Amino acid sequence: MATTDLTPRFDQAPAAQGHGVRLLGEWTAAQFGRPNVYRDVLRGLPRGHGKHGWDLREVDLLDHVGAQVLWDHWGHKWPEQLEVLPPQRAVLDRVAEFTRARPRRKRTGLKDLYLGFGALLLRAFDHLKGFVQLIGQLTIDLRELVRAPHQAPWRDFSGHLYRIGATALPITALVGGLIGVVLAYLTAQQLRQFGADAYIVDILGIALVRELGPMLGAILIAGRSGSAITAQIGVMRVTDELDAMRVMGISHTYRLVMPRAMALSIAMPLISGWTTIAGLIGGMIAADLSLGISPLFFLRALPDAVRVSNLVLGMSKSVVFGILIALIGCHFGLRVQPNTQSLGQGTTASVVTAITVVILVDALFAILFSNVGI
């Protein structure tokens, strides 16, 4: 008993007979689901459907999947010559009715790039304008604090000081210690080649006290506390607490921004010093293990290798880092829209901006004070 071939296929008449295309088999989802059938059919179907006559009357079965294949191949247009049975025509009509053409991707030209760059600059200037306004308002709030210190939000200040400073000590100590160990081992390999083992104290001391300690602490706080500040204020926006404060006449900057900026300006130098000490301890242990430099020699040589001006510069940078991180976190928190998507975007932008600003300001300090303490 012969088996009927149900594979979707076609026959194409020669040019002398009018380029007719006759479809055979079953044009159904079951047949197109078989391996390579869909690919082979699309490769073989003739292009330029307007030049061909299509005959579907010998198709064994046509469902909506087969009709969709044909309709897409025809470019969502009816062929000029089409022979179909009434049931087949009904299926094709339904597919043609509910099929929507895919929108074409708009090509990006020079004009689009120019307009996109302009929009980016406008958003940047808008953020810069809001940030400068926040700094000005904070200055006014500090003046009010000096006039009436008994009305200041000292409880909020102490709470932020604990959450930002005390709870960050373990992670900053861990990261600082590991950085000190890595830096000591990498430096030891180079110094051993020149017999300059004792200079590892100078390298570790200046690098950690002047640069790595303050910057590492600031980056960790920007990712840890800066994001928390933005999220806290952003949630207040989502829950309409900021609007309630405005209705009650409570200043956002006085109650929300100023305590956080004050807490970070005090906590950041302490965290920087703590991170630096942890890095020096890790480097001292690594120097003892790799070069045989005793901790006693390390501690005796450190004051001569690192001047007090380096320590002052590192602590001064930390104060600036702390204020900037707090202001950036509050800036993006106050700009959050009352929806969860904006809250996530604002938190991400706050962390990225704070870390970038910390690195830029640190580079600026390095250029301006390149001759101090060296």
pLDDT at 15: 47
pLDDT at residue number 10: 83
- For residue 286, pLDDT over 50 is answered with yes
Average pLDDT over residues 346-358: 93
Q: Mark which of 69, 98, 127 sits at the end of a domain.
A: 98
- Residue 164 and residue 23 share a domain: no
Angstrom CA distances, 328 to 69, 267, 352, 361, stand at 54, 16, 10, 14
Closest CA to 315 of 363, 354, 268, 261: 268
**Window from 1-5, 81-85, 285-289, 331-335 with minimum mean pLDDT:** 1-5
Q: What local confidence, expressed as pLDDT, does residue 1 receive? A: 41
If one counts every other C-beta atom within 10 angstroms of the C-beta of residue 256, the result is 23
Res. 330: pLDDT tops 90: yes
Identify whether residues 359 and 230 lie together within a single domain: yes
With respect to residue 222, please indicate whether it lies within any of the assigned structural domains.
yes
Amino acid 48: pLDDT: 59
Residue 3 has pLDDT above 90, yes or no: no
Inform me whether the pLDDT recorded for 98 exceeds 90: no
- Assess whether 91 and 225 both reside in one domain: no
The reply to whether 174 and 279 lie within a common domain is: yes
Residue 158 lies in a domain: yes
What mean pLDDT is predicted for residues 353-365?
A: 93
In terms of residue numbers, what domain contains 256?
A: 116-368
Rounded to whole angstroms, how far apart are CA atoms 278 and 280?
5
The answer to whether residue 107 sits within a structural domain is: no
pLDDT of residue 280: 92
Give yes or no for a contact between 265 and 322, defined as CB atoms under 8 angstroms apart: yes
d(CA 190, CA 196): 9
Of 113-117, 321-325, 350-354, 358-362, the least confident: 113-117
Residue ending a domain, choose from 63, 98, 133: 98
94 plus 120 within the same structural domain: no
Q: State residue 36 phi and psi, 5-degree precision.
A: 70, 0
Q: What local confidence, expressed as pLDDT, does residue 119 receive? A: 87
Which residues have C-beta within 8 Å of that of residue 41, sequence separation ≥ 6? Answer: 8, 9, 32, 69
| Structural domains in the chain (count) | 2
Residue 35 lies in a domain: yes
Residues 259 and 320 in one domain: yes
Q: Is there a single domain that holds both residue 85 and residue 138?
A: no
Question: Mean pLDDT over all residues of the chain?
Answer: 86
Average pLDDT over residues 288-317: 87
What is the pLDDT at residue 321? 94
Closest residue by Cα to residue 73 from 105, 93, 49: 49
Is the model more confident about 51 or about 353?
353
CA–centroid distance for 354 within its chain: 12
For residue 326 the two structure tokens come to: 């707090």
Q: Which two tokens stand for residue 26?
A: 């079953």
Quick one: pLDDT at residue 77?
A: 84
DSSP secondary-structure letter at 224? Answer: I
Is 51 inside a domain boundary?
yes
- Say which amino acid occupies 121: L
**Residue 357 — pLDDT band, cuts 50, 70, 90?**
very high
pLDDT of 50 higher than 60: no
87 and 132 assigned to the same domain: no
**Would you say 204 and 180 are in contact if contact means Cβ atoms under 8 Å apart?**
yes
Angle, alpha carbons 221-224-228 (nearest 5°): 115
For residues 340 and 257, membership in a common domain is answered with yes
Is 103 within a domain? Answer: no
52 against 6, higher pLDDT = 6
User: 42, 9 in Cβ contact below 8 A?
Assistant: no
d(C-alpha 58, C-alpha 85), whole Å = 9
> Which pLDDT does position 12 carry in this prediction?
76
Q: What is the pLDDT of residues 167-179, one digit of tens each?
A: 999 999 999 999 9
The string of pLDDT tens digits covering residues 196-233 is 777 888 888 888 998 899 999 999 999 989 999 999 99
Same domain, 79 and 134: no
Phi and psi (nearest 5°) for 303?
A: -60, -35
| 109 within some domain | no
Among the listed residues 10, 47, 49, 39, the one whose alpha carbon sits nearest the alpha carbon of residue 26: 10
pLDDT digits (tens, 9 = 90+) for 254-283: 889 999 999 999 999 999 999 999 999 999
* Of residues 97, 100, 29, the one with CA closest to residue 65: 29
Residue type for position 183: L
| Structural domain contains residue 373 | no
Last residue of a domain, one of 39, 71, 98: 98
Report the pLDDT averaged over residues 111-137: 88
The proportion of the chain whose per-residue pLDDT surpasses 90, expressed as a percent, equals: 29
163 and 225 share one domain:
yes
Give the model's confidence band at 319: pLDDT under 50 very low, under 70 low, under 90 confident, else very high.
Answer: very high
Confidence of residue 353 (pLDDT cuts 50, 70, 90): very high
**Pair (122, 52) in one structural domain:** no
